[in-house]
Amino acid sequence: MFVCDSPGFLSLLGVFILSVDGLLPGLFGGIIATGVGLAATIGGVRGVNDWWRLSITDSVPMDEAVVANELVQVQGHVRPSHPNNTIRSPIQDKECVAYDYKINQIVQGPGDPSIDAGIESTPFIISDETAEILIDPTADSLSLQHERKTVTGGEEMLEQVAEEKLDLEPSVHTGDSGVIKDRIELMEGTISIGENITVVGKPNTTPESVSVDADAVMTPEVEDLTVMNDDPGTTTLKTGVRALFLLIIGLLLSSIGVTAFVTTITGVV
């Protein structure tokens, strides 16, 4: 077995260890920042595409949309696809065909304020005086306007929500108001029965497998779909701002990550 304890060898060994210690954090940091940046950039590009799609799509009556065979914007009133095909929202306890909600603690400083969040939808019909279209949304296609309510403490929160519909931490179910003392914001958006909404998508012939009497169907699988109960201009603006934010953050993080990676490698070499 070879052992060398000469000053020169130990000195070289120390330099190598310091180089490795400095190399790994720089490499990992650069890789992580670059990966997060690329993911944000991709999300931003998709958002820009959504913004452009919402900006250029014309609003037409449903009978024209059915025969257009292209991306259109339609407006109509909501009814269930079947009489009993509705759901109830967990916060407002409202009969609807789609909802999303968020429950957050209002706290100062770092940390995750989220207590719970969720989204659910069921296929539904929208109609105007000219035609009816079956809408089958997914979570990503919903853009809902939210109603907000602020309560204080976990006990008051539990009085305001349907616990069986939420995925709350076990500690919240104790009913002890001391578990959560902060103010809590309850946010929920719904698409209610009879509500007038806007949908952007491509109508297609209703498949024979669908047991619903509708002139056409809009699904995310066929074409990009956006279902909104907010003003279309407001939704378009929010989509553009979110996309721009993701692009800026993504490009910034990617630049920082690549710079850290290259600097680390150059320093070692």
Do β-strands 196-201 and 72-80 pair in parallel, antiparallel, or remain unpaired?
A: antiparallel
Cα gap 92→85, rounded to integer Å: 18
Cα gap 147→73, rounded to integer Å: 25
Residue with the larger pLDDT of the pair 172 and 216: 216
Structure confidence at residue 14 as a pLDDT band (50, 70, 90): very low
Task: Tell me the per-residue pLDDT of 132-144, one tens digit each, with 9 for 90 and over.
Answer: 999 999 888 898 9
Distances (CA, A) of 155 to 55, 63, 94, 107, 171: 44, 51, 22, 17, 11
pLDDT at position 24, please? 65
Task: Tell me the per-residue pLDDT of 97-124, one tens digit each, with 9 for 90 and over.
Answer: 999 999 988 776 666 678 889 999 999 9
Average pLDDT, the chain: 79
Task: Tell me the per-residue pLDDT of 205-250, one tens digit each, with 9 for 90 and over.
Answer: 877 667 788 889 988 865 578 898 877 777 777 777 888 888 888 8
pLDDT at position 12, please? 41
Number of Cα atoms under 13 Å in the Cβ half of residue 200? 23
Residue with the larger pLDDT of the pair 25 and 2: 25
pLDDT at position 55, please? 77
pLDDT at position 68, please? 82
Structure confidence at residue 171 as a pLDDT band (50, 70, 90): low
pLDDT at position 191, please? 95
Is the confidence at residue 18, as pLDDT, over 50? Answer: no
Do β-strands 142-143 and 226-228 pair in parallel, antiparallel, or remain unpaired?
A: parallel
Q: What is the pTM of this model?
A: 0.68
pLDDT at position 20, please? 45
**Mean pLDDT of the region 53-80:** 86
Task: Tell me the per-residue pLDDT of 29-66, one tens digit each, with 9 for 90 and over.
Answer: 777 878 888 888 888 887 787 777 777 787 889 999 88
**Mean pLDDT of the region 152-164:** 78
